[in-house]
Structure 1
């Protein structure tokens, strides 16, 4: 099997990314009498969409549209060759491409199956983890979860050089004859002027980090998934692929091992049986759509529930880990005598509104020199950097919702059910060209209410804004808010409570309150690299108790919001995959 193109004619098109790039893609319309769905192809690193065009014929699915992009910095798409601002940028490009297919080609997300190879398969896996799309399924061919770097300590060396030198590029060492046994594919790879041999060092390093996160937390992916493993792969390691498959949260999953196959799995010489397996998997999902995995009771059983319970278990004081965390807590106590931020965390809780407002301001304070240096290190921890990015994303989606309401000639009536000090809401309102008719900030803490009222007064918003003490989990109280809000926001609240019943009660109240066609901005925390440190060393606002969090996967959070009567239309996530912010619309009752 040597064909490298399709007998179907392709339309050559472009779509616009969130940051203004115009990426190239090909579209092969269905040739059958009625379109059943679409297959979207994502190429491996260094390549471009045309090198997957042969699958359009080989999969023999005439009733399906096919799409294949050229990733930014590859093929006919613009940008420095092999470069993207970050791996997260490219993951968001995947989301934008799928949204574009929906709006421009009238194909529902649930009617799309994704086929991805190598680096493309890592992009798609990360997208499935972080954005929780509702596509029909995934086929991942030899995902590059761990690239074989044959030079000892290559990864740590590249990271050090990146810090010292900044951006530079690493050329691929892999020869075409180690990618496939197909002579035509080998020759075309060597002669193709659009092959991109260099890869930016930031993308290579980001690839490793994203892959490790996704493999470790593959339980969060619940989409039907097919994994193809090349048995004689010179480019990537097998072990993470098998670990990923075992941890997948998918109810429908299939692993096919292909002895003797090189890395270009779907471009191998004897690929026909593998391609037929992909075809059979796609047709099975479209012939008999599987029931989605119900995650609304994931707080009772599952990976994140087990993780949270383990973190809540006390450690033996004389054990190595017990001693380590006792030493860490002692260090934080000492740090609190010098650092204002750490002291505030001890006083009010590291998850309190006061702490978050301090983190938002991002101004190191404390004892001269040493204290401020400690405070700066504290404020620059990855969790707090993620919190500040979350604030920016909340403000961005609040402004977007306000503009959508204005476009529909509707009043903007804002309600934040647990506002902390309310800084992000007031900042968003101030930055929007759309005027909010009313702003209602609510919080359970009298300290937050007091300080939030001061912020309102400072900004001269007393005529439109008020701050009241109220319970975010009281459905009746939320449902009775007048005037009824057209835009609700809940930021950083549900992440603090592991119990889904509480969250469902709160969201039901929000759903009762928000007018049909109104909007909800909500946050999530599907991942955090410092969960154990937080649980073992930091205290919460609840009377000095340990701050033990249960992560909610994005799919779980979205299901809870959907149950309350909302439909997600947009999402943002920070570059580390820690905090998400989503925008959902209240469906008509």
Structure 2
């Protein structure tokens, strides 16, 4: 397995960090990983270690204001900045691998970014994979963010608020939870009003966006996900012919980081789906 790190410049001249993993031989397809809120690209090694030996290449960046990338922590001027960054990243991937199938895997907030990316650039992708997705944020975060008006998000966009996210509900694996809590690249500080508001609004409309898509889609979520909810509702909105939905009984938010036996089932399902669509 080959691993390299690099960066690119965003439209507004921020340095965006990314890394990628490739098999020793020519890859059979590329997966562009879009990580979730407050985390970073380095938290997807279970996916890397499953797929790269099967011949896939994985590219993952750190969102602006996340991980090793530049930008104000937990803040964006608009949600479209995330999408624009992913388009620049996707262009790099296609330049490096012009003839290979290209899939996008988005987790949590990244599932929202990936969905809106697919709405705008569907022809750039051969398939869409969504993990920890839904049409509303967890009850605590939703209840907290709902009190914010659009006026507050505009007038005090960088004001910090506590989303009250409990890392214990990321995974049943205590080692994963401890690693998350102690990870210096994970942002444990408060979210800005602007990002909180745009996340809430974008997730509310995910079902409407998915209705428009025709590309193959795989959804993988835990039935006990406390961070993002409403996945069963958006499943009803899927109109594309090629759709696969996997709801894993009892699992939490990070299905790729669950206890070993459970995550292996999830990763096996991911690998089988990719094999059918590459």
What is the TM-score when the length of structure 2 is the normalising length? 0.91
CA distance, structure 2, for counterparts of residue 152 and residue 140 of structure 1: 20
Distance 1:271 1:171, change over 3 A: same
The one of the two structures with greater contact order (alpha-carbon pairs below 8 A, sep at least 6) is 2
Which residue, 280, 283, 286 being the options, matches 2:275? 283
Aligned residues of 2:35 and 2:107 also touching (Cα < 8 A)? yes
| Correspondence 1:59 to 2:51 | yes
Distance 1:12 1:215, change over 3 A: same
Which residue, 106, 109, 127 being the options, matches 1:119? 109
Distance 1:184 1:223, change over 3 A: same
CA distance, structure 2, for counterparts of residue 151 and residue 120 of structure 1: 17
Q: 1:364-403 to 2 correspondence within 5 Å? A: none
Q: Secondary structure at the match of 1:13?
A: strand
| Correspondence 1:222 to 2:214 | yes
Q: 1:461-480 to 2 correspondence within 5 Å? A: none
Q: Shift of the alpha carbon at 1:17?
A: 1.6
Distance 1:195 1:136, change over 3 A: same
Instruction: Please list every run of at least 4 consecutive aligned residues from structure 1 whose deviation after the TM superposition is greater than 4 angstroms.
Output: none
Structure 2 stretches of 5 or more lacking a match?
Answer: none
How large is the RMSD of aligned CA atoms in angstroms?
2.0
Which residue, 116, 138, 151 being the options, matches 1:148? 138
Give deviations 1:469-510, integer Å, cap 9, x for gaps. Answer: xxxxxxxxxxxxxxxxxxxxxxxxxxxxxxxxxxxxxxxxxx
Q: Shift of the alpha carbon at 1:68?
A: 1.0
Equivalent in the alignment of 1:250 = 240
Q: 1:489-508 to 2 correspondence within 5 Å? A: none
Give deviations 1:118-150, integer Å, cap 9, x for gaps. Answer: 000110011111332331111101115311243
Equivalent in the alignment of 2:153 = 162
Q: Secondary structure at the match of 1:227?
A: strand
CA distance, structure 2, for counterparts of residue 140 and residue 83 of structure 1: 23
Please state which structure has a larger fraction of its residues in strand.
2
Distance 1:181 1:69, change over 3 A: same
CA distance, structure 1, for counterparts of residue 165 and residue 276 of structure 2: 36
Q: 1:435-454 to 2 correspondence within 5 Å? A: none
CA distance, structure 2, for counterparts of residue 137 and residue 149 of structure 1: 30
Give deviations 1:84-140, integer Å, cap 9, x for gaps. Answer: 22111111111111112112x1334x6111222100011001111133233111110
CA distance, structure 2, for counterparts of residue 44 and residue 9 of structure 1: 24
Which residue, 74, 86, 89 being the options, matches 1:94? 86
| Correspondence 1:77 to 2:84 | no
- Count of aligned pairs: 274
Q: Secondary structure at the match of 2:211?
A: helix
| Correspondence 1:268 to 2:258 | yes
Q: Shift of the alpha carbon at 1:79?
A: 0.9
Give deviations 1:320-358, integer Å, cap 9, x for gaps. Answer: xxxxxxxxxxxxxxxxxxxxxxxxxxxxxxxxxxxxxxx
CA distance, structure 2, for counterparts of residue 244 and residue 46 of structure 1: 24
CA distance, structure 2, for counterparts of residue 285 and residue 263 of structure 1: 25
Structure 1 stretches of 5 or more lacking a match?
Answer: 1-7, 287-589
Q: Shift of the alpha carbon at 1:22?
A: 1.7
CA distance, structure 2, for counterparts of residue 132 and residue 170 of structure 1: 34
Distance 1:271 1:134, change over 3 A: same
Equivalent in the alignment of 1:209 = 201
CA distance, structure 2, for counterparts of residue 196 and residue 107 of structure 1: 35
Equivalent in the alignment of 1:134 = 124
CA distance, structure 2, for counterparts of residue 151 and residue 277 of structure 1: 30
Distance 1:249 1:16, change over 3 A: farther
